[in-house]
Amino acid sequence: MEKLLCSILDLIYRKKCYFCGKSKYSIKMCPDCYESLQFSDFIPNRIINNINIYSCGVYEKNLQKLIRGLKYHKQKELAYYLAKFMYEYFLNLKLDKKFQVVAVPLHKNRLKKRKYNHMELVAEEFCKLSGNIPNFCLIERIKDTKPQYKLTKPERMQNLSNAFKINPAKNLELPILILDDICTTGATFEEMINTMRQSGLTNIICIAASSPC
């Protein structure tokens, strides 16, 4: 009777895949849906001030739903799957060095409203997979910027001007890997790179989980 009750409870409370709705594996992203994610080419999506910017995939289909679920719908468990996708892309770049990993920071007002920085969750999982070191204290966002998605490239750059500040005492003196979810014009990466360069930090690469194309 006890075994029967446990089986019924397992059936009722099994997790459904956030993407296809199936509960076969009782996880948030089933293997079939994860395997549907496709990598972009393993070359820089763009180069900003001699810094390579990579994009792991195209912002569409399940990758778009993965990012949006994590970012806007409090699906924190999805951080692992986005980190895994980015880590597997990262492996193909064959960068044989240890990095301090920086997540694009949120302003304290945005963080208070959203309750968490989704890219810090991703960066933590990424570091567990890769053996790199998270460093969320190196750079902070000191300007409460407007959402970027409706702005043109010049408007994005103006919006982000002087948005970040470096904490030199928190530098781990390792190459820097900046992680973000979407790279549209590259404005956020560019402003972070410029801020870091002003503090003498130039050994940087950037990886976004996605780009529009």
Tens-place pLDDT, residues 177-212: 999 999 999 999 999 999 999 999 999 999 999 999
**Residue 151's pLDDT band (cuts 50, 70, 90):** confident
Whether pLDDT at 1 is above 70: no
Largest interatomic CA distance in the chain = 68
List the one residue out of 133, 43, 38 whose CA is nearest residue 88: 38
Buried b (16+ CB within 10 A) or exposed e, 165-185: ebeeeebeeebbbbbbbbbbb
Distance CA 126, CA 84 (A): 7
Q: Are 68 and 21 in contact (CB under 8 A)?
A: no
Helix ranges (H only) for 18-77 are 31-35, 61-72
Classify burial at 143, counting beta carbons within 10 Å of its beta carbon; exposed 0-12, middle 13-18, buried 19 or more. Answer: middle
Residue 184 host element (H or E): none
Whether pLDDT at 35 is above 70: yes
In this structure, the dihedral spanned by the alpha carbons of residues 37, 106, 179 and 53, taken in order and rounded to 10 degrees, is 100
| Cα R_g (the chain), whole angstroms | 19
**Residue 67's pLDDT band (cuts 50, 70, 90):** very high
Q: Are 175 and 183 in contact (CB under 8 A)?
A: no
Beta strands (DSSP E) in 2-77 are: 46-48, 51-55
Mean pLDDT of the chain: 92
User: Which domains, and CATH codes, for the chain?
Assistant: 1-36 (no CATH), 37-210 (3.40.50)
